[in-house]
Each structure stands twice: as structure tokens, then as C-alpha cells.
Structure 1
Amino acid sequence: MISRVLLALALSLTPPTAPGDVEKQPCPVAMPESTTCGFLVVPERRDSPDRKIRVGYAVHVSTAEDRKPDPVVYMSGGPASSSIQLTTFLSQMFPDRDVVAVEQRGSRYSKPRLGCPELAEAMLDRLRGSGDGTAAAAGECRRRLELQGVDLRGYTTREIAADVVALRQALGYPSWNLFGVSYSTRVMLDVAASDPVAVRSVVLDSFLPESVNWYDDAERNLGDTLARLGLKDRFDAAVARLNASPARVPTRDPLLSSAFTARLTGDDVATIMAEALHGADVIAVAPPLVGALASGRDEVLRPLADAVGDGLASHEFGLYEAVQCQDEVPFNTFTTKSRLFTVQTDKAVCDAWKLPKSAAVNATTQAPVLVVGGQFDPTTPARTSKPAAEALPNARFVEFAGTGHAVFLANPCGRRHIAAFVAAPTQSDSSPSSPTQSGPTQSGAARPAADCAPDKATVHPRLDPADLHITGAPYQISRSPWLAAPFALFALVSLVQLVAGALKGRAVTAFAGLAGTAFSGLVAQSVYGLVSQNETALGAGVPALVAAYTWVAAGSAALTLAALALRRRGPQCVATVVAAGFLVWWFAWFL
């Protein structure tokens, strides 16, 4: 008896080191009430468990009266995308369930954080036209991480999946619902295979099957998406033009906080477009965007170039490349050199790092599975995700119109389908089959939301080239609002003219003010209507009607000049100078 007491006392004084221990920590971002955050302490390599790392997570406890016992556990894609910042969004999507957001080991809210700014800067240098320093940057990054004690061999899909299982055990949930998007669909399928008793359902958004050689498919995926949009020929023409004469595009380096001019070839633009078409907002504006590029209007490239820098700054490239170099790159052939610089970069990093090839998992599950995909997804298209879904024993595939990558982030109808499935993953689908839905109609079928049809519920209205007047000015104004000062001054002076002319009985002045005020209101209304539908469209231009309204502004300026001829006073002189200056700004810069 005494020996048992002494043993228990000794164990209670021993620091916790077992895999699956949790450490509560303040949340790194704003969270809804009833949310706690922490780290899961796990081995960096489970085959050599001495070194421990910390995996970030957040748990939001539902306060709903009908709270369900099995939570939703979510992980973002990438690899290396963060998850915790989506906790609020997910808690609104699943209000009657706890939500667990788990980071990938090595990501932003885990420790260590496997950032690799050297690689991000090397890719920006490429856009500067400074050559390809990827191999040198890869070597520098790896040496720095190894000095921190990081063993890159511990950062694989299999280890990440084991972290998810360990977190469930540590938090004490007997079962839960798995939710993965893009890369993490592989993780969650591995979790379902290795922890089957605890898995109630699985949601795979933008499914990336293990059997798919993503790098070998990358260019075809982009071409197929452009073809489905009816834009492939025009885009190929734009790529050929830019390869012959690269565009010079002002942008910023978010890592160095400095401006530079990017030199974008057609192949660079193809790489950027492959990422941009993830978003349903870009898909909707793709026709006028590609049309502008095909006609030589390179100003529309600026928002795309800025997005590249923002994306590079938000990724932990040490983790990304560690996973890719072990779990993806070795399974591709690379028989021809890709024109996409992201593919070239990953191949160069993996050649430099020489990490071991992972063993294939070939995971499957008997749990009910919902696979959702976007009609125009250039990364995980239905061509590969739908057959992989059909190969799972108890899965259903649903494709959503007008949508790209990560359906749940962009498409409200998609979110409703996912929530309905999690609520009743084994419920039969009583609605008629549609061309976008396939799979079993009994166990594992998703119950669609009653008033949203996946093949009709587009996210943004699609714009035709005739719908937009191409100009880069609105995007520049969005980044530097002071650039709109001439428009604001013209609107203010017009309003003063209208009021003063009406009060003093000066008809010409009043009509000049009325025309200027009407012009300002019509432009504001048109731009607001476009922004309400799709803010991204302002990156390509303004509604075509805005250009037509120019004649109203010209009429206001002519009447202002006439008022000056009738009465030469200081206010009329000021109004005339403002109107003339505005028209110069409008024609020479804005339009």
C-alpha cells in the first residue's frame, strides 16, 4: 500500500511529457466567448519521440440549448495554412456543436513555427527579374531551422493526422466530425482511417486525393478551368504576348515593406492566375480581366501582383515544403519543365533538401463522407475529386456552380449543405438526383438545404467584357484613397453651385451644379452597385455606364464656363478651375 502511494506521489511530481498533453494558452487572435486555446504537446517524430513540439488548437464550446455531443474538428489546407482564425466563422456555421480548430504542426500558431522568408523573398526576386535563387534560399532556410533543432522529417501528413487523433484523446471527446479543406482533406481521411470508432462523419471540401499527382496535373487543371470559362484561347494569346514582352507592374514587397516593379512574363501571369482563380470573386470577373490582358491592358495585373506578395507573407514555407517534399513531389514525374514558377520552386527546394519519400497511406473510411467541389476549381477539379469520392465506400460528391477552391468559404449554399450533412450524415436524400450530385442515396447521402440548388447557387454574377470599363484607377484609389481627391472636390463644388445658384436665382450656375451633382451621384451609385455584387471587380475597372456618364460631367463643366462668362467673380473662377482640372484627371488618369 505504501509503495503505491509513493509511486502515485512520484508520478504526480513528474513533469508531463506524454504525447497528447495539453497546455492552456491565451488565444492568439480574437475569439468568440466560450473559447479556449492551447497547445497539444507531441513528439516531433513519433519514431524518435525525445524532442517535443507544440501544436496549436482552439475549442469553442457551443452555448446552444440543443448542443450536440460530437463537435466539428477543422483544419485548413495549404499545407501550412492556419486554422484558428476561422473559429468564429465555423462556430456560426455549426452553432449547435463545439468547434475544434487545430493547427498543423509547424504552422503560424504552433511551436516551432517553420517560417521560411528566404524562399518567399527568392520568389519575389524572381518577379523582380533578379534570377532564380531558390536553391540557395532553400539551403539557407534549412540550415537556420536545423540550428533551432527542427527535424524536417517530422513534418508529414501522417504525423499531422496523428496529432489530430491525439488531440481528440486529450480533449476527451469520444467522437467527432472531421472537416478538411484542400490539403487537409488528405489529413482528415488519414484520421478517419486510423481512428475509425471516433469518427461520426467526414467533410472533404476541395478534395485532394492521395492518388493524384498534383504537380503533373497543375497546368492541365488551369487550362481546363479556363476552357470551362470559355477563356482559354484569349488567355493563351495574352500569355504569348507577355512572354514576348513582359509587363512592368508596380507592387510591394510585404517582407521588406518596400515598393518595387515586378517583371511579369506570360508564364508568371499563368502561375498567378492559377492561384487567383481559387476565388469565386475572381472567377466572376475573369472574362473582362482576361479580355483586358488579351488586348494589352496590363494595368489589371497590379491587384494580382499585390496578391502574390500577400500570399507569400502569409505562408510558413518551411512547413509547406517539408510536407510537399516528402508526401507529394516524389510521386510526380516532372517529365517536362512546368511553366508555373510555383511548380519549379517546389521541385528546386525538394532537390536541395533531399528529404525521404513517405510511404503511401491509401486511406479509406466506412464513415459517411460528403465531398464538395467548385465548378471552376483550378487545383482540385471534379475531374480528380469526383472519382476519388466515388471510390470511398460511403461518400457523396456535390459540385457547386460558379465556385472555385474552398467551397465553404465562398458559397453560402455550400455551407448549408455541409451543415445539413453534419446534422444527419446517414439520412437519405429525398430530393431528385441532379447532374452535380452523385453517390449513394441511402447511407452517407447529404440532405441538401431546401432552397439552394448546387448547380444554380452561384456566388457572384458573372461579368462580361462589355459590363466593365477597364481601368486600374479604382484599385489604386482603394489602396490610396487620397487619389480620389479630384472627384470629391468636383462633387463638393457642384453641390455648392447647385445650392448657391438656386438661392440666388442664377439658373446657369444652378444647372451646372445640378449636372455635376447628378454625375457624382450616378457614378457613386454605379460603383456601389458593383461593389455590392463583387468588390474584386473594381480591380479590373468600373461599370461601363460610368464612362457614359462622362458627358454629364462635361455638360456641367460647360455650364460652369458659361456662368463664368456671365459673371466673373471669384467663386465662378474657382468652380471653373475645379471642373477643368477634374476633366483632365478623369480623362487622363481615371478612364
Structure 2
Amino acid sequence: MIIRVVLALALSAPPVMTPSQAAPGPCPVPMPARTSCGFLEVPERRDAPERKIRVGYAVRLSTAANRKPDPVVYMSGGPASASMQLTAFLSRMFPDRDVVTVEQRGSRYSQPALACPETAQAMLGRLRPRPAAPADGLAAAANRCRDRLREQGIDLRGYNTKEIAADVVALREKLGYAKWNLFGVSYSTRVMVDVAAADPEGVRSVVLDSYLPESVSWYDDFDRNLADAMARLGVREPFEVMVARLNRTPARVAVLDPLLGREFTARMSGDDVATILAEALQDAEVTAVAPALVSALARGNDELLRPLADAAGEGLASHEFGLYHAVQCQDEVPFNTFTTKSRLFTINGDKEVCDAWQLPKAKPVNATTKAPVYVLGGRYDPTTPLRTAEPAAKALPSARFDQFRTSHAVFLASDCARQKIAAFVADPAATFITPCSTSTLPSPFRAADLHVTAAPYAISRSPWLAAPFALFALASLAQLVTAALRGRALAAYGGLAGVAFAGLIAESVNTMASRNETALAVGLPGTTGLYTWLAVASAVLTAAALFHERRWPHIAAAIISGGFLVWWFTWLL
């Protein structure tokens, strides 16, 4: 999927700060102990400093006896992704250091938050069966959002990478740390390189996960990046087959609108599915099941589109799109040519919004740093691919590059990556990072690993749909116990087969979920078909017991087992 602390010091460092000196307040998300949250007041535009805004941050003080004086400061990507929710996760990565999580200006936990439900709703409307009229399209929605934000006194020109980087520098000065270690992922890698260039004396080391260099033409490259990721996953041909099929005959899929809280029937073309997959592949668990998912969609298993469509809706509700558009329209879109129309509606949509907003083009920073830098990349990442991240990393004077067999936001998926990041921060000058003692990643699923079906996802949304399975399991258990006590062998063996079936299915589903919960959106474990023969045997033995002795317990057991098999074969499988 990816990819969500505090002030202090050391005996030899400047005076020890306390949470009260960091203007603490209530935290907007659950936090570990010894965490304080606050706001950094900064100018909305530093070239016109009259209007002030507030940037949210959290600081978690380390309790380690060997606590180091230089903390780790982390910012999520996006643009417009929240950071604070990862405070506890990062504190476990760096137990001997304070951890500071800083929000981007205009994001969810800053003030003001630049939400833009108008464009989120218009983008979701791309999937509605009858596209909206031009007057209600994305450009019109973007203008309504822009006008509403302007009425609130917000100057969108103040929400760009240069100002966000300056906020990070100002936060170090406010908290009183002499030096700290920068940690960025995806979009915020660009921010952190700018911070390192602007504040060299305050930076001890830099971690860049899924590096997005300033020189990349991100929009112009994205279709190629997605195709390359599909090729590396071994499903380039099925992917193109799926896209072509659904472009000819779009699928109709029930989708929950997260903004309105009700379902509608989406019309999903192949290009729409490609767009959603491009976003979904940023999650390592999705990457692991992508070969099975794409192959199934190429064969026409359109019922698997429901979890993808729901994920797209949820994604549109997870960002403050006013901030996202402001950053992209100043720092990214103007540096792309758009000479070829993309198949991805998000790419075209961003261009449409920026054409409507007409924000000024940012001046390239061309930042670099002499601080030690550790850059991580994911082999299957379609967003910040190795093809662009690795050369940019090698262009930094004191950088080393590492790739992992995962996707975007490597540190969220790979314990090996987390070990290496921690080792680098512990000793940035070391010429060698110790290999990982352990390494667990969501391993890819082979065709035999999954029995493709949409039923588990439907059950996850409506658990009552699993009632036939629960009833069969309970009936089998009751049949086993009562028949065994009364010495009725056929009925007892029928109950035993049913209990064994239910137990093996539950155990295999639990094992797969612990390995990769997302896999349940694609199907059941590949052993399901084999175990199904136990359910069939249970029904046959139960029917045989009924033939020999027509008693109501046998009648009830036969009806339940027969009904269960009809449900199992016609709906679940």
C-alpha cells in the first residue's frame, strides 16, 4: 500500500528542551507516551509575511539510556499526505533518538487545511456511467475550490516545495536542535534535499526513500513507468489484454462514494483500471498479488474490480487536494510537456486543474547536499522508479543507493530496509551497511497460491454473507458429537469431515491473511479446491446416514450440508 518525535538533547548539547517549550497541545491522532504536539507559526508567503499560518508537528522524546542528541525528522509524501500517524512506528525504528514528525503546510493536521472536495468528487465522477456535463467537469470543480479557498483568505502561491522546506528549517530552529537527521519518502524526498541544501549546518544525515528528484518529468514519464512495472512483475501482456478488453466493453461495478456515503454503479474502462492500478501498486501487498490480479482481470474476472474501485474512492478522501493541486501546479506540471495524452485520468486531470488555476511556475532549486545520504528504491515502484531514482542518487556527492524487491515507500514494507536505515543513521560516515539479519517482504503469489474469487472481499464488507459457512461448521460439530456419543459411525464421520473442512479453510485463510491481507481481495488460498472434497465427503456421508436412518437430526444435517455445497460452489467458488 505506504507508506503516516519530540524535542530534547544530550548532556553535551544545548540546554534540554521540554515538551512545554514546544508549545504542546492535544494530538489529532493516537500517540505513544512522551509525545507532544504543536504548531509552528510561519508566514503563508515569506515574500509577503503579513498573513500567518500554522504547521502541525509532533515530537516524541526517547526514553533510551543511550539517547542521542540528534533526532530524526520525518515528513510523508503526497503531496498532502499526513505524517503524525507514523510517530509510533518511527519511534520503534529509532528507539535511541527523539522523533519529530512534521506536517506539510495546508495538510490535514496543519491550519488551514486545504481540502478540495470539489475536485475529489469530480475525479470520482470520472467513473460514473454518464459523465457530467462540461460545465460540471473537473475544471469547473477546480475553479469552485480555488474561489472558496480565496474567500477564506488563502493565497495558493504560498503552498509549494520551497515554502514547505523553509518550514522544516524553521522547525529545527524553534525546537532548538543543533542538528538532526532528515527522513523523506516520495514527494518529501524533494523537500528534504531542499532542506539539506538550505540548512547544511543543521543536517547530520539524509534518508530518501523512493526518491523523486527535481529533474524528473514525472507526468511525461508515468505511462512508461507503469508499463515497466507491469513488465517487471511479468504481466505486461495480460495487462494490455485487460486494458484493451475493458476499453472495448467497460465493466459496471458497485462502488462506495466515500464523500457522499452511498453506493453508485461505476463504469470502468481499461484506462480507468490502469489508473487505479498505478496508484494501488504503491502498496507492497498489492504488488505481491498483482500478477494474479491482472491475469484474472485479463481472463474476464471483473468481479475483482470492486476492491480496486473502493480503494480509488478511499484514496480520493485521504488527501487535502487543495494542497496537492497547489504544489503540483507550481512545482511539477509546468515542467512537463504533455505532448502525448496519457491513458491515466489522474495525469490528465492534474493538467486540467492546473490549466484552470494558472498558478506561477516555480523556479528550479537544483538543490544538492554534501551530507551523507542513503537512498532506497523499490524494484516494482511505478511512481519513483529505479530508472530515475538511482542516477539522481549517484549525482549527490555523498550518497549511496540500495534497491529492494518491493514497491513504493520501501521502509513501510521491508524490515530489512528499516534495519539498514537505522544502521545508516547510527553511523552515516560508515562505508558499509551491515546486511540484514532478517528480511520479510510480502512474497509474490503464484497462480497456484490463489483461487480467484471476489467472495472474501464481499464477506469482509458484509460479514453476514459468511453465515452458511458458520452454520455448516456448527452443524458438522454438533453432528460429530451427537453421532459419536450414540455410536452412529456414518454420521460421525460425516461430521468429522465437515469439521476438518471448516478448520482447514479457516486456518489457511488466516495464514494467507497474516502473510498478505490484501490477497483476500483477490481470492482464497489455492488449497481451497483440495479441501472442498472434505465438504463433499461430509455431505455424502451425511446423506448415507440419512438413507440408513431417517431421523430429524440426519434430515437437518443433510439439508444444511446440501445447501452449503450449493452456496459454496455457486457463489463462493
Would you say the 8 A contact 1:467–1:543 is kept in 2?
Answer: yes
2:434 alignment partner, one of 412, 425, 448: 448
Would you say the 8 A contact 2:472–2:561 is kept in 1?
Answer: yes
Please give the per-residue CA displacement for 1:117-150, whole angstroms capped at 9, x wherever unaligned.
1111111111113426101110110111111111
Partner of 1:302: 306
Secondary structure, aligned partner of 1:549 = helix
Paired with 2:251 and 2:447, the residues of 1 have a C-alpha distance of 21
CA positional deviation for 1:113:
0.4
Would you say the 8 A contact 1:83–1:102 is kept in 2?
Answer: yes
Establish whether residue 30 from structure 1 lines up as the match of residue 33 from structure 2.
no
Q: Larger relative contact order (C-alpha < 8 A, sep ≥ 6)?
A: 2
Paired with 2:175 and 2:251, the residues of 1 have a C-alpha distance of 53
Paired with 1:561 and 1:234, the residues of 2 have a C-alpha distance of 44
1:411 alignment partner, one of 402, 411, 414: 414
Would you say the 8 A contact 1:292–1:470 is kept in 2?
Answer: yes
Paired with 1:219 and 1:129, the residues of 2 have a C-alpha distance of 25
Shift of the 111–389 alpha-carbon distance from structure 1 to 2, 3 Å rule, reads: same
Partner of 1:148: 152
Partner of 2:254: 250
Establish whether residue 210 from structure 1 lines up as the match of residue 214 from structure 2.
yes
Aligned residues: 549
Code of the aligned partner of 2:304: V
Partner of 1:170: 174
Deviates more, 1:76-85 or 1:21-30: 21-30
Deviates more, 1:286-295 or 1:52-61: 286-295
Establish whether residue 181 from structure 1 lines up as the match of residue 185 from structure 2.
yes
Paired with 1:129 and 1:205, the residues of 2 have a C-alpha distance of 39
Paired with 1:44 and 1:540, the residues of 2 have a C-alpha distance of 45
Code of the aligned partner of 2:437: D
TM-score scaled by length of structure 1: 0.92
Establish whether residue 270 from structure 1 lines up as the match of residue 252 from structure 2.
no
TM-score scaled by length of structure 2: 0.94
CA positional deviation for 1:24:
2.8
Partner of 2:91: 91
CA positional deviation for 1:550:
1.8
Partner of 2:371: 367
Shift of the 525–450 alpha-carbon distance from structure 1 to 2, 3 Å rule, reads: closer
CA positional deviation for 1:261:
1.4
CA positional deviation for 1:450:
4.4
Structure 1 spans left out of the alignment, 5+ residues: 1-20, 430-446
2:498 alignment partner, one of 516, 533, 544: 516
Would you say the 8 A contact 1:420–1:449 is kept in 2?
Answer: no
Code of the aligned partner of 1:316: E
Paired with 1:474 and 1:247, the residues of 2 have a C-alpha distance of 20
Please give the per-residue CA displacement for 1:345-372, whole angstroms capped at 9, x wherever unaligned.
1000000000000000000000000000
Secondary structure, aligned partner of 1:263 = strand
Partner of 1:437: none
Moved over 6 A (4+): none
Secondary structure, aligned partner of 2:110 = coil
Paired with 2:378 and 2:443, the residues of 1 have a C-alpha distance of 15
Within 5 Å, which residues of 2 pair with 1:38-187?
Answer: 38-131=38-131, 133-187=137-191
Secondary structure, aligned partner of 1:37 = strand
Shift of the 129–448 alpha-carbon distance from structure 1 to 2, 3 Å rule, reads: farther
Partner of 2:484: 502
Paired with 1:555 and 1:399, the residues of 2 have a C-alpha distance of 49
Code of the aligned partner of 2:301: R
Shift of the 449–97 alpha-carbon distance from structure 1 to 2, 3 Å rule, reads: farther
Code of the aligned partner of 1:527: V
Partner of 2:288: 284
Paired with 2:129 and 2:361, the residues of 1 have a C-alpha distance of 33
Partner of 1:484: 466
Code of the aligned partner of 2:48: S
Paired with 1:185 and 1:472, the residues of 2 have a C-alpha distance of 37
1:330 alignment partner, one of 327, 334, 338: 334
Paired with 2:484 and 2:494, the residues of 1 have a C-alpha distance of 11
Paired with 1:545 and 1:61, the residues of 2 have a C-alpha distance of 48
Structure 2 spans left out of the alignment, 5+ residues: 1-20
1:471 alignment partner, one of 434, 446, 453: 453
Paired with 1:448 and 1:405, the residues of 2 have a C-alpha distance of 23
Code of the aligned partner of 2:257: D
CA positional deviation for 1:534:
1.1
CA positional deviation for 1:511:
1.0
Would you say the 8 A contact 1:400–1:458 is kept in 2?
Answer: no
Code of the aligned partner of 1:148: Q
Establish whether residue 319 from structure 1 lines up as the match of residue 317 from structure 2.
no
Partner of 1:442: none
Would you say the 8 A contact 1:23–1:41 is kept in 2?
Answer: no
Percentage of identical aligned residues: 67
CA positional deviation for 1:466:
2.4
